[in-house]
Structure 1
Amino acid sequence: MMRCPFCRTAAHVRTSRYMSDSVKESYLQCQNVHCSATFKTHESIFEVIRSPVVDEKPAPVPTAPVAPRRVKSCYSSPFRH
């Protein structure tokens, strides 16, 4: 929220657009009915206090290959000739 530069009442953003990745231009209007001033602002990022943390995943631990299961066929019979 910004204040009106003329009457110091709260002003609301009517529309905005990005000028670049770090600069936004906004058009504001005063909420005071008797003032109703309209003005433009530029909002920018000038310092990063803390960057996002990048999770470093540990390297996968090599494991022994799993032997395939040997399943006896359901059609085989122990009494086969």
Structure 2
Amino acid sequence: MSTYKLICPHCHKSLRIRTSVGQHVFLRTAYLQCTNEACGATFRAQFEITHEMSPSGMPNPTVRLPVAPAALRRDAMQNPNETQLDLLEATA
């Protein structure tokens, strides 16, 4: 099952991936369905791997992706919806 958090643009309920097809090692086309039966919207989406955020421990020499800029990696570490307390803040 998918771990993506996709929301229907019409009714704002969650979307599920019904099926997907690999176009390339870095590109996948997915067909989505709204989980709200009253809405019933369906969509086509594409998921693309664009950057490497951290290096692999088992690198494939044929994989050539740019390393994400430092600002992008830093932003990825920030989660504005995070509810988990920081360990150091919890012990203070």
- With the length of structure 2 as denominator, give the TM-score of the two structures: 0.55
Question: What is the deviation of 1:25?
Answer: 0.4
Is there any run of 5+ residues in structure 1 with no aligned partner, and where?
A: 55-81
TM-score, normalising length: structure 1: 0.61
RMSD across aligned C-alpha pairs, in angstroms?
A: 1.2
Bigger proportion of residues as helix = 2
Greater RCO, 1 or 2 (C-alpha within 8 Å, sep 6+): 1
1:51 aligns with 2:55: yes
**What percent identity do the matched residue pairs reach?**
30
Q: Residue in 2 aligned with 1:61?
A: none
Q: How does 1:2-81 map to 2 (within 5 A)?
A: 2-53=6-57
CA distance in 2, matches of 1:15, 1:53: 30
Displacement over 4 Å in runs of 4+: none
User: By percentage of residues, which structure has more strand?
Assistant: 1
Q: Mind listing any 5+ residue stretches in structure 2 that lack a counterpart?
A: 59-92
CA offset digits 1:46-78 (Å, max 9, x no partner): 110112135xxxxxxxxxxxxxxxxxxxxxxxx
